[in-house]
Amino acid sequence: MKRCSGSRATPFETPMKSNPFQNLVLSDHHHHQIKRRRIIVSDSEAQPPSQSPSKNPNSFSFRSHKHRRHQKKAQKREWTLSSRDCSSYKDRVIILSYNVLGVANASKHPDLYYNVPAKYLKWRRRCKIICEEEVDRFDDLDKLLQEHGFKGVYKARTGESCDGCAIFWKEKLLTVLHHENIEFQKFGLRDNVAQLSVFELNRSCLNSCASTSTSEDATQRLLVGNIHVLFNPKRGDIKLGQMRLFLEKAHKLSQEWGNIPVVLAGDFNSMPQLDILLHDRRRISGQFERGSQFRTFRHNANYSGPLVHEWSQEELRLATGNETTTLLQHSLKLCSAYLGVPGTKLTRDGNGEPSATSYHSEHTEQLVPLRVLETLPMGILRRTQGLPNKMWGSDHLALVCELAFADNANST
């Protein structure tokens, strides 16, 4: 089976002049107080280059200093391509999800960044590459991205927090048919929020970019969800409650719009391989605290031990929506974008998921993953003493995947 493009993955190192927004998204200096944001761009807007790397000092590989070139070269992130024949898939989207580490959140939790020099957590330092634009407010960021053809919507967290969720999209390629927010505070589930948007690919633009498209091609729509789940490792009941509402609403909207594909991403503040059958709400969150003996989480389908940790009626109500319900299910058949494109143990954990992130990109079966952008190898992160650091200003790495509509492949 041939790969989607070329014989091997190429570095994601697009020059600034080719796509200014791409470097703005993926460089380490584009941070602001908006905690989560999702960006949808077309295949033609975000192709990795096949030629030699750009020498632009603002490029993603950070190769501006010759004496550190060997170190910077090792820190480039690579695309991993699917082994399937992708030539027949016409309608595609590239989706990026990134937790940029809000300045206020970093200052509230100094214990999490004890090994990070203070200067790298300061706002002026981190927004240097975009210092001409004041991006500590959504209105400023929105105005900046409009210059590059993007439009966005923002939802601030409720309560006193200053961060929130935002979704941006390429306006000429996608039309928003519906958008709504979820305020979890209304359900007694803290101040976190989520966003859900229904997009339609603009067929006229796609036809002009693809010679194989015709006016008879089916309309392509998809639902994009963006969420920032509660961080607190001891409140797995609240995490479950937030995800329950998020998944229920996503499924409902998908059905209302004709069973359209669903893409869900965001900061779930959990690990993909958590043991969902653990009955202690303090461990069901899928996180571990520094010094904890619980370093790994595995799915235990044969668990038959006693329920040592009983849940209170209030905890059950928060998690399941009902004090008498002890079983949670959702109706979406989700697939991991990264599991769909196998990588190496350098950047993946034992389950095939990115090993340096606590947030995820999931999609329904109507979409096919064509390629994903790998995170940095754990060895590099250890040598740089973790995240954030001088080169990477957030405690997360962006997740990027290219998805194709499975029902839009050519039959020839």
Pairwise pLDDT comparison (373 vs 258), residue with the higher score: 258
Which residues neighbour 291 within 8 Å (Cβ) at sequence distance 6 or greater?
none
Domains and CATH numbers, the chain: 25-49+76-408 (3.60.10.10)
pLDDT digits (tens, 9 = 90+) for 123-173: 333 222 222 222 235 777 788 778 877 888 889 889 887 788 888 888 888
* 26, containing H or E segment: helix 20-26
Question: Would the pLDDT of 5 be above 90?
Answer: no
Q: How far apart are CA 208 and CA 214, in angstroms?
A: 10
**Residue 388: is the preceding peptide bond cis (ω within 30°)?**
yes
Pairwise pLDDT comparison (180 vs 298), residue with the higher score: 180
Query: What's at 178, amino acid-wise?
Result: H
SS3 98: strand
Supply the angle between the helices 236-256 and 313-320 in degrees, to the nearest 10.
30
Residue 199 near residue 177, CB atoms below 8 Å:
yes
Nearest to 251 by CA among 225, 227, 269, 274: 225
Query: In 205-255, which ranges are E strands?
Result: 221-228
* 319, containing H or E segment: helix 313-320
**Would you state the structure tokens that stand for residue 226, as one six-digit string?**
């963006």
pLDDT digits (tens, 9 = 90+) for 15-72: 333 333 333 333 333 334 444 455 454 444 444 444 344 443 333 333 444 445 545 5
Position 27 scores a pLDDT of 33
Question: How many residues are given for the chain?
Answer: 412
pLDDT digits (tens, 9 = 90+) for 79-136: 899 988 888 888 888 887 766 555 555 565 566 545 555 554 453 332 222 222 222 3
Q: How far apart are CA 231 and CA 261, in angstroms?
A: 28
pLDDT digits (tens, 9 = 90+) for 325-363: 888 889 999 999 889 999 988 888 888 888 765 545 788
Nearest to 372 by CA among 387, 382, 389, 357: 357
CA-based R_g, the chain, Å: 21
| Overall average pLDDT of the 218-224 stretch | 90
DSSP string for 212-255: T--TTSPP-EEEEEEEE----TT-HHHHHHHHHHHHHHHHHHHH
Query: In 47-148, which ranges are E strands?
Result: 79-81, 92-99
Q: How far apart are CA 119 and CA 240, in angstroms?
A: 36
CA atoms within 13 A on the CB side of 273: 15
Q: How far apart are CA 293 and CA 246, in angstroms?
A: 31
